[in-house]
Amino acid sequence: MSVESFYVSFSSAVPDPVYDQTNKIADFLTKINPPIVLQGSGWKIALVSFHLSNSFDSLRQDQDYFFNFFRLVGDSKDPSKRLGTKITLPKNKRYNKIPKIIRDMNNLVYTGKDSVNFHYNKLYDRVYIQGLKVGESCFLSDGLREVLGYKENIIEPEPDNNSHQTYGIEGPLVPGLYYQCNSIFVYTDIVQSSRIGNASAPILRILQGKTTNEEVISYSFQPLIYLDISRQNTEIVHSSFRTEKNNTIPINRGLISLTVEFRKDE
């Protein structure tokens, strides 16, 4: 049996100004020049590799990202403006790394002598809330809790700890801005539609989300999964990348690229 195959790469960095008005990083058109013309039957397509910039919007517009510090009633220390006050992160800012969020959170916290602060340990890839004493607590909103890697909304030292010491409480989970992309659904109109739940869509592959601090998130696949093509001739390819909730993945800069293999078994 002879095998005929070739590779094609698609990227959101399209130089053709005709498509600049409609293209987004995670939903774009690619003009193939020269067009793909497949001779004969039996052609299939598989996703070989996939790369995207690690620049996700960590702050969704439909959620609030805030934290509060509290002390027990009757604490004789100056409560200062940080205690019992809702401190909200601005949702119009772009974050692509955990240290940037930590920096902004610390800038919003009252920097008194014994102020509570946030710390990111790069070696262990964990966030710490430092400076809490027994009877003090930090409340994290749901969105912020997930980003920072905590399971609970209320973070506080154990009540039987030394009341004169301060404590750093580690988040048990790896922090990440990828929390809202547990899966990436890769769609392209050059593959035949298949059934997804109650709908039919031209899906090329479903990827598991990755949490990483690298600038580029990369995937390569082995073995390849070959699917039936939707047409023999192709000049313009539509590619789209969506979450499990069918929202376009929230990437805000850089590009997405993918490489596919066209293969014909004879």
Output the tens digit of pLDDT for each of the chain's 266 residues.
556 899 999 888 755 545 556 677 888 888 888 899 999 889 999 999 999 887 766 566 666 788 887 765 444 344 444 456 678 887 667 676 788 889 888 888 865 445 788 999 988 889 999 888 887 888 898 888 888 889 998 888 887 777 778 888 999 988 876 545 678 899 999 999 887 777 788 999 988 877 666 778 888 988 999 999 999 999 999 999 988 878 888 776 778 899 999 999 76
Q: Are 52 and 216 in contact (CB under 8 A)?
A: yes
User: Which domain covers residue 91, as residue numbers?
Assistant: 66-170
Amino acid at 194: S
End-of-domain residue from the set 147, 170, 193: 170
CB neighbours of residue 34 within 10 Å: 6
Residue 145 lies in a domain: yes
Q: What is the 3-state secondary structure (H, E, C) of 128-175?
A: EEEEECCCEEEEECHHHHHHHCCCCCEECCCCCCCCCCCEEEECCCCC
pLDDT tens digits, one per residue of 71-105? 654 443 444 444 566 788 876 676 767 888 898 88
Domain count, the chain: 2
Classify residue 38: in a domain, yes or no: yes
DSSP 236: E
- Comparing CA positions, the residue from 201, 190, 265 lying closest to residue 37 is 190
The pLDDT value given to residue 20? 57
Contact 7, 261 (CB under 8 A): yes
DSSP symbol at 249:
P
pLDDT of residue 119: 93
Contacts (Cβ under 8 Å, ≥6 apart) of 24: 12, 248
Whether 52 and 70 map to the same domain: the answer is: no
Co-location of 27 and 70 in the same domain = no
Residues 161 and 139 in one domain: yes
Q: Give the pLDDT score at 33.
A: 85
- The answer to whether the pTM exceeds 0.75 is no
pLDDT digits (tens, 9 = 90+) for 128-163: 998 888 878 888 988 888 888 899 988 888 877 777
Distance of alpha carbon 94 from alpha carbon 97, whole angstroms: 9
> Residue 133: inside a domain, yes or no?
yes
CA distance 66 to 256: 31
What pLDDT is recorded for position 89?
Answer: 82
Query: Nearest to residue 57, comparing CAs of 91, 27, 88, 28?
Result: 91
pLDDT of residue 44: 95
Residues 98, 126 within the same domain: yes
User: Are 187 and 103 contained in the same domain?
Assistant: no
28 and 76 assigned to the same domain: no
Residues 108 and 199 in one domain: no
In a domain, 61, yes or no: no
120 and 79 fall within a common domain: yes
| 195 and 234, same domain (yes or no) | yes
- Alpha-carbon torsion (241, 24, 61, 90), positive or negative: positive
- What integer pLDDT is reported at residue 88 of this predicted model? 84
> Domain check: are 184 and 136 in the same one?
no
- Tell me which of 170, 205, 222 is where a domain ends: 170
